[in-house]
Chain A
Amino acid sequence: MADPDVLSSAYPAAVSSSVRKHPVPLDDSLAASDGGPSFAKRPRAAAELPAPGGSAASPELDVRALVSLTTGIYPLARAEALRGLAEVVEKADASCSVGSGIVECSYESAVELMRDDDEGVRLAVVRLVGACAQKFSATVDVDANGYGDLMDMIFLQLSSMARDMCTQVRIEAFSALGKMQRVSEGVLLQSLSKKVIKTDTMCGSIINGQKLPPKLKIPCAAGVFSHGIEDEFYQVRTVTCKSLGALAKFSKQYAEKALDLLMDMMNDDTRAVRLQTLQALLQMATYGCLSVQEKHMHMFLGLLVDTSALIRDAARKILGLVTLPKLQMFKSAVDGLVTSLEKNPEEQDVYGILFSIGKNHGSFSANIAKHLAKEITMASDGELILDKPRIKALLIVSISAPFSNDKHKKLDIPSIIFSHAICLLGKISCALGEDVNQDLLLSYLCHKSGMPFWENRSISAEFGESESCNVQKMEIDAHMENPAKATKCLDETIVMQSMKAILETVEGTWNMRMSCNICEVRTILRTCKEELNVLAESSSGLIGAFLSFLCEYLDAIQLIIEIWQLIQLDNLYTFGLTSVDILLEKLDISIRRMECCFAGLNRELEVQVLELSLIAHLFRLSNIGVCKVVLGKLLWVINHLEGLCADGSYELSDFNGEIKKAFNDDLTGVNLISNIHTLFELFHPKPTTDFGMLKAITAVLQVSDNNSENPLLYVCGLPVGVSFNIFLRNISSHHKLWICMTIDEAEVQGALQELHYWFTWKACPMEKAEARTRWIEWHTGMWIDGDFSLP
């Protein structure tokens, strides 16, 4: 039992004005259950009230009990009661009349305690008011005019709480402010400016029939956010920034002014605040209410080169979403991104941001593209290095222009940009997001760049439209595609396309062999061959094999043309070894390589090879006259061809047919030689691109443990062991290995007096790992005298 004397003297503060208005209500139900008015137990009893949801029978009773406790004399009890009310309010269904009643009377009792002496009570008040505000805004009909004012009023009340001396209360008040909805623009604007904005609408507004108390006119909300961002405690500043951003979606004018405040926060000394600010800006940008002005650019550019990766990342994301009003700002943003890329080359998502910023500013990007095109043409003598991040970045920006939304303007992007952009295909497709078909994108770029040999598989206009839909939907922060996968896929596509292009060129060249200078034809073919070689070196597997096959094929074609030229020029029988003989020999070797060095030739390829050997035999006949051996070979080839096409699924070419006819007419071959011109006319190289399961049979010999940095060590006069690794690929069991070791006499002789060598070898068939690869290890021992270095 508490002594009344103690009670009254211990809390002199309790005799406050608010308490005096309400006599301390003593809740009988509680008092009775306690068996006596034990004041000390009261707060706890309030806290242990049954969960409001559970006692569905009478939430009103709970609320009534709690409301009466809020006017108690003990601060802890008041705070606890308010917390209890907040719980009830949060679970209350405000759409029904009982629920809204609960919310309303909770709100009223909270407002009573806004100026409480105790920090804990004020904190609980803010929470309760915040919860009530959410319920109000969720249910209240916007049209009901009084309620719009109510939301304003709550906003103002919370604002006045946000100037509290207690840090916790401020934090809570600011976060509650951020969750407010349906606040009128005037009030929002006032919360940003310390100077009181004169508005007529809010003066003397009447809430539920009662005039606003003088405390809650707009002035108390004046500049609450500008106070918040200047707060001493970073927690308060963080919450302020968050709320500033969250409210921006309600008013455009507010968003503009809030941006000014937020930009200043980028100089805050706490990183948490800076990050939260960026988060808020990102949110504003997502809602489309972020309009960056020139004065903010310095800050943004600073953020792009911040030492913190998180901040850089956030700043970039924002830049990818904003709309910049001026070309100058756009350029400086792009420059900033380039600088950031140069400083931190590992941050590849910059390209994605560049693309989207370019896309958002179609005409500005077009402008950049024009300048870039000029730069490219000016520096065409190899000065322009595509590897430079700046050029890459500008290319991406230029490329993005056609994807922009302002379709009404015809954006004129020079085709040179597109042709340079092809090498950035991977980056562009990453920037576009994963959905984009790379083939489609590539063909689009090629079409735009006006590459003449590009197949018209996809219509660019269609692409542009269908893809730009895609682009609009894409998420800027979509995950980066797996670059390795992208590159591989990209490579195959590009290789196949370029191969086709080369073959087309070859066919075209064949057709112009008569009209043109032989030199020109030869140059074209050589270039084609070189390109194929480059492609072959960088690819592997089936494509690699096929490419090396094609190289041989082109070799043969080139030889054929040259031989033909010679035969035409000098159509006389000559004796002795002529250049034609040499060329014919080369042609034979080339054809034999095609036959022997590749396994798994399909029928088409085999026919091609056989046709080539037909030509070769024909040439030989015309060169040396009728010869039984050659005729015999010819006959074998013809028969072989016939056998291949016996099932009728593959038709023999005219060339084949004619030769066969001529041969059958006259078995001596004279007829063939006389008709060689017409027959040759019939020949057309038609290299197929269907390579089936073509495999290259290769053998690679490596000297292990010997390179320029760590050369093989040896001492003159002592034997030295050299290990070789020989890799054999795609050989079958019936293949035989013939190893021929020659020592370059000219080189070695002078220095080398004596060279003995022996082999031990072991062959390890690596069936499991690589079925067709055999690996042979050679151990060669040598005595070497004198100065001799291994290659």
Chain B
Amino acid sequence: MSIECLVLGAGQEVGKSCVVATIGGKRIMFDCGMHMGYHDHRHYPDFSRALTLWGASDFTTAISCIVITHLCRLVLCSHLDHIGALPYFTEVCGYHGPIYMTYPTKALAPFMLEDYRKVTMDRRGEEEQYSYEDILRCMKKVIPLDLKQTIHVDKDLVIRAYYAGHVLKPLPNSKVLGAAMIYAKVGDAAMVYTGDYNMTPDRHLGAAQIDHLKLDLLITESTYAKTIRDSRHAREREFLKAVHKCVSGGGKVLIPTFALGRAQELCMLLDDYWERMDLKVPIYFSAGLTIQANMYYKMLIGWTSQKIKDSHAVHNPFDFKHVCHFERSFINNPGPCVLFATPGMISGGFSLEAFKKWAPSEKNLITLPGYCVAGTVGHKLMSGKPARINLDKDTHIDVRCQIHQLAFSPHTDSKGIMDLIEFLSPKHVILVHGEKPQMAFLKERIESELGMPCYYPGNNESVSIPTTKNLKMSATERFITSCAAEQGKLRVHKGNLVCGASMPEVIGSAEDVDVAEGILLMDKRKAPKILCDDELVEVLGMERHLVQFEPMVSRIEASVQSELQRAKAADLGSEGNE
């Protein structure tokens, strides 16, 4: 028995995650992403090719289920690398089987997909791959999945989702919630597909959490196969220092941020600091952010970190003590303050308005998110501090304020990948979703340090992993008692000998393994069983024959049937001790 693993997307590349694993005849498709870099047939995974490979007539019969680990927050130019191709696959290719994803993913997916569909239609003038109705129809087929909930897809196939931590996408600099690692099991063969995950918790979202499972295969992402991230603490410290310095000098701090995740994290950090330092400077949240924050909180309390889970019964942890509601007119108020405003790249909206007002004073501070799209004010500020920014022909902003860059944290780093692999200790590892040279580097590390065979197949390549087959067998009562008694005798004998002598040589040494002999009886109709020598005759309902060879050997005690059985057992190579 083996696990066949066909990589349809994200093999030696980043984007369009799609892996189909065949375990014991069951096909599971993990993720169904699209690649944003291409606009031709490489845009989607090559489904039709897979179909011919499997020799199946349609996808519904070929694939048992689809599991989507998470979706990526959609902002311009972003990847929809784990879910993008799903409507295409279900509606265009005609897959009608079950689709699983977590609750947050299911809640957010239709908006993202529709958003994206519109963008590609408007901006690029591409031909429509699927319509809004397709998306809705597709989402109807989706079955939501809860963390650690075990789902029996059919008689043999079992899947379970584990918390994969918060996932940060480098491009939009915001967080993805609801990411999950998927455990799938058919019979004795088990595997885990990670999707994107993070092994390091942050202020309000926890780290990936998974049980110690017995795995034949682990398929893990490897985006940052070579990078090692430094601690977020240093970034936090720098940030607090800069903000504190600014407000104590009477300046204003503008924190342009995206709605979800990042703002909450920074705000928790600031609120805590304010509390400790007893600062009275107001922190403002612009209107849109507060509404979104509440939504975020209500929907996702189960996905947050332990501290928030612990405290949310007492009070809403996103109800910040030092945060006040912002009125548009406050923008001209004198005195220090901290303002969270959208959008994050100062491309327009309220953050641009505040920026226009505050940038000319050198007392003020602008903190920039880690990534800004080219052309936005944020990008201009990041690429060398300009003295003046021309918004359009008539508007110029003199930039004299200080600028602090907030580095974002990417997905899990190589240390996190290694830690997860080490913890799960699977028999084989497959790397996906990463650049080829880095994957090669990581493969080398996994094989040398952890001693596990590791593969990183390219797109449309397939890897076959052997699995273990466990054989259940029972032992008769007599067998157990007899061998237990025998061993006991042996041990007492040894113990008496050793008393007072140097012990460690005897205890725990390799020679101390006791061997019990028995007969394995395998019958097609019955479960395999281990017997004592003398039981066999009874079980088989035969008489014992005694054969004596006079001149050559003194005495051989055997029964023909038992000899036969022994030979059979040796062939199977599964002579058990029990």
Q: Spell out A's residues near B (CB within 8 Å).
A: 1, 4-5, 8-9, 12-13, 15-16, 21-29, 31-32, 37, 58, 60-61, 63-64, 67, 97-98, 101-102, 104-105, 108-109, 115-119, 160, 163-165, 194-195, 214-215, 217, 219-220, 222-223, 226-227, 229-234, 260-261, 263-265, 267, 269-270, 298-299, 302, 305-308, 311
The reply to whether B495 and A214 contact each other, CB–CB distance below 8 Å, is: no
Q: Is the CB of B307 within 8 A of A270?
A: yes
Q: Mark B262-277, 1 if CB is under 8 A from A, else 0.
A: 0000001100110111
Q: By the criterion CB–CB under 8 Å, are B207 and A9 in contact?
A: no
Known A-B contacts A4-B475, A215-B422; the reply to A267 vs B240 at CB < 8 A is yes
Complex contact B472–A101 (CB within 8 A) = no
Docked Cα-Cα span, A405 to B277, in Å, equals 35
* Given A4-B477, A164-B423; A263-B237 close (CB under 8 Å): yes
Q: Interface segment, B93-101, B116-124, B435-443, B444-452?
A: B444-452
**CB of B489 closer than 8 Å to a CB of A:** yes
- Name 25 interchain pairs, CB-CB below 8 A, sorted by A: A12-B470, A15-B470, A28-B484, A28-B485, A28-B488, A64-B507, A101-B507, A116-B212, A117-B212, A163-B419, A165-B209, A194-B228, A194-B229, A214-B448, A230-B231, A232-B307, A234-B307, A260-B234, A264-B231, A264-B233, A267-B240, A267-B272, A307-B276, A307-B277, A307-B278
Give Cα A194 to B224, complex, Å.
14
- Residues B423 and A306 in contact, CB atoms below 8 Å apart: no
**A-B residue pair count with CB separations less than 8 angstroms:** 181
A23–B515 touching, CB < 8 Å = yes
A25 touches B240 (CB 8 A): no
| Nearest CB of chain A from residue B99's CB, rounded to whole Å | 28
Q: Which of B422, B507, B527 contacts A60 (CB 8 A)?
A: B507
Would B278 and A305 count as touching, CB distance under 8 A? yes
B497 shortest CB reach to chain A, Å: 11
User: When the two chains form their complex, are residues A160 and B422 in contact, meaning their CB atoms are under 8 A apart?
Assistant: yes
Q: How far is the CB of B383 from chain A (nearest CB, A)?
A: 27
Q: Note all chain B residues with C-beta closer than 8 A to A16.
A: 214
Q: Return the chain A residue nearest B447 by Cβ.
A: A214
Assess whether B237 is in contact with A67, with CB atoms less than 8 Å apart.
no
Known: A105-B504, A305-B278. A165 touches B212 (CB 8 A): yes
The answer to whether B210 touches A165 (Cβ under 8 A) is yes
- Chain B residues with Cβ below 8 Å from A260 are 234
The answer to whether A163 touches B237 (Cβ under 8 A) is no
**Which B residues touch A214, using CB under 8 A?**
448-451
**Given A219-B449, A267-B269, A269-B272, residue A230 in contact with residue B487 (CB < 8 A):** no
**Besides A63-B503, A194-B413, 14 other A-B contacts (C-beta < 8 A):** A12-B470, A23-B514, A28-B491, A60-B495, A60-B498, A109-B508, A227-B419, A229-B231, A230-B232, A231-B207, A264-B231, A264-B234, A264-B237, A311-B276
Q: Is the CB of A232 within 8 A of B201?
A: yes
A220–B277 CB distance below 8 A = no
With a 10 A CB-CB cut-off, give which of B241, B244, B476 has the most chain A CB atoms: B241
Out of B273, B306, B477, B487, name the residue touching A233 (CB < 8 Å): B306
Query: Is A230 a contact of B233 with CB atoms below 8 Å?
Result: yes
Which residue of B422, B423, B472, B504 contacts A104 across the interface (Cβ within 8 Å)? B504
* CB <8 Å contact, B418 and A12: no
Any chain A CB within 8 A of the CB of B329? no
Interchain CB contact under 8 A, A217 and B449: yes
* Chain B residues positioned under 8 Å from A13 (CB to CB): 214
B508 touches A67 (CB 8 A): yes
A58, A101, A195, A270: residue with the most chain B Cβ atoms closer than 10 Å = A101
Nearest to A59 among chain B residues (CB) is B503
**Residue from B425, B503, B508, B527 in contact with A98 in the complex, judged by beta carbons closer than 8 Å:** B503
List of A residues within 8 angstroms of B419 by Cβ: 163, 227
Contact between B277 and A302, CB atoms less than 8 A apart: yes
5 shortest A-B CB distances, which residue pairs? A28-B488, A264-B233, A232-B201, A101-B504, A26-B484
> Roughly how many angstroms separate A139 CA and B241 CA in the complex, as a whole number?
48
Question: Once bound together, how far apart are the Cα atoms of A105 and B509, in whole Å?
Answer: 9
Q: From A61, A222, A232, give the contact of B305 (CB < 8 A).
A: A232
| A220-B421 Cα distance, complex, nearest whole Å | 12
Beyond A29-B488, A194-B230, A267-B269, is A232–B423 a contact (Cβ under 8 Å)? no
Q: Which of B233, B415, B488 contacts A265 (CB 8 A)?
A: B233
A219 near B474 with CB under 8 A, answer: no
Bound CA–CA A311/B476 (angstroms): 67
CB-CB under 8 A from B449, the residues of chain A are: 214-215, 217, 219-220
Asked whether B422 lies within 8 Å of A229 as measured between CB atoms, the reply is no
Report A-chain residues with C-beta under 8 Å of the C-beta of B211.
Answer: 165
Known contacts A28-B485, A109-B508, A269-B268; A8/B502 CB under 8 A:
no
The reply on B552 being an interface residue by CB < 8 A is no
